[in-house]
Amino acid sequence: MAAAPKIPVEPSYRDIDRSVLRVMEPAGLAYWAWIGLCFTLVAIAAGFWVRQIYSGLGVTGLRQPVMWAIYITNFVFWVGIAHSGTLISAILFLFRTKWRTAVYRAAETMTIFAVATAALYPLIHLGRVWFFYWLLPYPNQRYLQPDFRSPLVWDAFAVSTYLTISALFWTMGLIPDVANAREAASGWRKKFYTLLAMGWQGTDRQWRHYSMAYLLMAGLATPLVLSVHSVVSWDFAMAINPGWHSTIFAPYFVAGAIFSGVAMVITLLIPMRRLLGIEDLLTEWHFDNLAKVVLLTSLVVSYAYLTEAFMVWYAGDPIEQMTFHMRYFGPWGWMYWVMVSCNCVIPLLLFSPRIRVNMRALWVITIFVNIGMWFERFVIIAGSLTANFEPSQWAGYRPSITEIMITVGSFAWFLGLFSLFSRFLPIISMTELKEGIVWLRKALKMDRVKAA
């Protein structure tokens, strides 16, 4: 794609529309090669999954007592990634945060595809995937209902509600923007956008109901986002397993989710703004603020690690203490220290205002955060299972090629879907950017002054 023309330092509504709609013009060969690569990896992963369904879970590395490992780690990782999208789109909307308008659509899109990726894992993890509906409130042939005391049932409700509500909230925000795209497009694209816009015209009657519903949906999504990761954490905390059975889990997981999610937003946005030529719409000011959220949540997560250790020491339960000793200094101790370095130490660099606006440095730091947060989940989930109450049951775990390829495939699935969206639908909300145009102008002025 050719370098994008700079938008004026005092952009008009029209300049915003042009910059965003320009991204949706037909893409080049490199783009389709990338999409092809992503979906080839997805197809390979699907092949491994089919093999696993045919042969059974024996093709994975899952053995007693480590029956939850990479699949569940990936599930928690992707649900966590999803959280920042709702944080930015709903919670920061209620707080009227100025910088969210340019980043929220990309973050929300990431949420949808991250939950769609996460939702695959409980299915992939099932030996008999065709019985997945047993988690839904649907009696089986012996008229047995699911047990509503089980955290796994809460999880089925929480994750499916989250996926539905985020998808509706995202669609609602898209409607006025797609109507804009409809006016600018031609050919099959015009038909496509006309269908998606559903006849939206921006009349006073439409905006009146839209604004009220958007506010209420944000109000509903806010407690939902906090509840979903709390429920995910209770999948572990409700079990008596040492390393899992802790009251700190819900806030600890929510903070971690927002931390990893905002880091992933930055990881995606930095190359995206360059490749799509929207550097003028996603300015240093936006990244500076996103980096501050990463820094804050990193400190919260570090505090949670310390509190967890303190509670184990203070409670004096020898089995819990042994589990944590193994976590810090056992055979997988290196993973714990990778996690601490990536999540607690490296993000401290973001205290420097210069690093917060240095795109390369910021990108590398957020990749470290993503790695660190993946390891955090792995250490908690699989690590805690290796050493249980009974030393005779202690065992290790080694992932098989099936698990590795399905993990690679899920990253490709997420990136492929996100890349497809970014060229066919507005990746930046034109409506909200226009509403907050004063702030975009200020950000552009700051950028241009700096560049001069």
Partner 1 sequence: MSTIAIISSFADETQCAQAIEELRAAQVGDFNTFSPIPSHKIEHAIGRSKSPVRWLVLAGGISGVLTGLAITIGTTYEWRLNAGGRPLLSWPPFIIICFELMVLLGGIFGFFGVLMLSGVPTTAMAPGYNGRFGEDRFGIVVRCEEAEAARVESMLKESGAEEVVREDGAQPR
Q: Does 168 bind partner 1 (CB under 8 A)?
A: yes
Rounded least distance, CB 433 to partner 1, Å: 9
Choice from 161, 307, 358, 400 touching partner 1 (CB under 8 A): 161
Q: Does 96 bind partner 1 (CB under 8 A)?
A: no
Kindly state the tokens that stand for 349: 């660099």
Cβ nearer to partner 1, comparing 196 with 364 = 196
**Is the separation of the CB atoms in 244 and 328 below 8 Å?**
no
Distance CA 411, CA 224 (A): 25
Apex CA 284: angle with CA 89 and CA 262, to 5°?
A: 40
Of residues 208 through 267, those in contact with partner 1 by CB under 8 A are 208-213, 216-217, 220-221, 223-224, 227, 231
Q: Does 1 bind partner 1 (CB under 8 A)?
A: no
| Alpha-carbon distances of 262 from 106, 126, 267, rounded to whole Å | 11, 30, 9
Apex CA 82: angle with CA 77 and CA 84, to 5°?
A: 115
Q: Does 434 bind partner 1 (CB under 8 A)?
A: yes
Position of tokens 């990244």? 287
β-bridge partners, 66? 63
Q: Does 91 bind partner 1 (CB under 8 A)?
A: no
Cβ nearer to partner 1, comparing 231 with 326 = 231
Distance CA 92, CA 86 (A): 9
Q: Does 171 bind partner 1 (CB under 8 A)?
A: yes
DSSP three-state, residue 63: strand
Rounded least distance, CB 103 to partner 1, Å: 18
Kindly state the tokens that stand for 65: 């007592």
Cβ nearer to partner 1, comparing 228 with 342 = 228
Of residues 184 through 213, those in contact with partner 1 by CB under 8 A are 184, 198-213
Which residue stretch of 13-21, 110-118, 363-371, 415-423 sits at the interface with partner 1 (rule: CB under 8 A)?
13-21
Kindly state the tokens that stand for 103: 């980043």
Which residue stretch of 49-57, 246-254, 292-300, 429-437 sits at the interface with partner 1 (rule: CB under 8 A)?
429-437
Choice from 137, 331, 353, 396 touching partner 1 (CB under 8 A): 137
Cβ nearer to partner 1, comparing 232 with 365 = 232
Q: Does 398 bind partner 1 (CB under 8 A)?
A: no
Q: What is the dihedral of CA 203, 206, 209, 213, to 10 degrees?
A: -120
Which residue stretch of 7-15, 257-265, 285-293, 362-370 sits at the interface with partner 1 (rule: CB under 8 A)?
7-15
Cβ nearer to partner 1, comparing 31 with 192 = 192
**C-alpha 118, offset from chain centre:** 9
DSSP three-state, residue 66: strand
Rounded least distance, CB 214 to partner 1, Å: 8
Apex CA 24: angle with CA 408 and CA 268, to 5°?
A: 35
**Is the separation of the CB atoms in 262 and 271 below 8 Å?**
no
**Is the separation of the CB atoms in 397 and 63 below 8 Å?**
yes
Q: How many residues bind partner 1 (CB under 8 A)?
A: 57
Please report which helix (H) or strand (E) contains residue 103, including its range: helix 100-118
Contacts of 127 by beta carbon, 8 Å cutoff, 6+ apart: 56, 57
**Using CB under 8 A as the criterion, which residues of the chain lie in contact with partner 1 when the complex forms?**
12-14, 17, 137, 139, 143-146, 148-149, 153-154, 157-158, 160-161, 164-165, 168-169, 171-172, 175-176, 179-180, 183-184, 198-213, 216-217, 220-221, 223-224, 227, 231, 431, 434-435
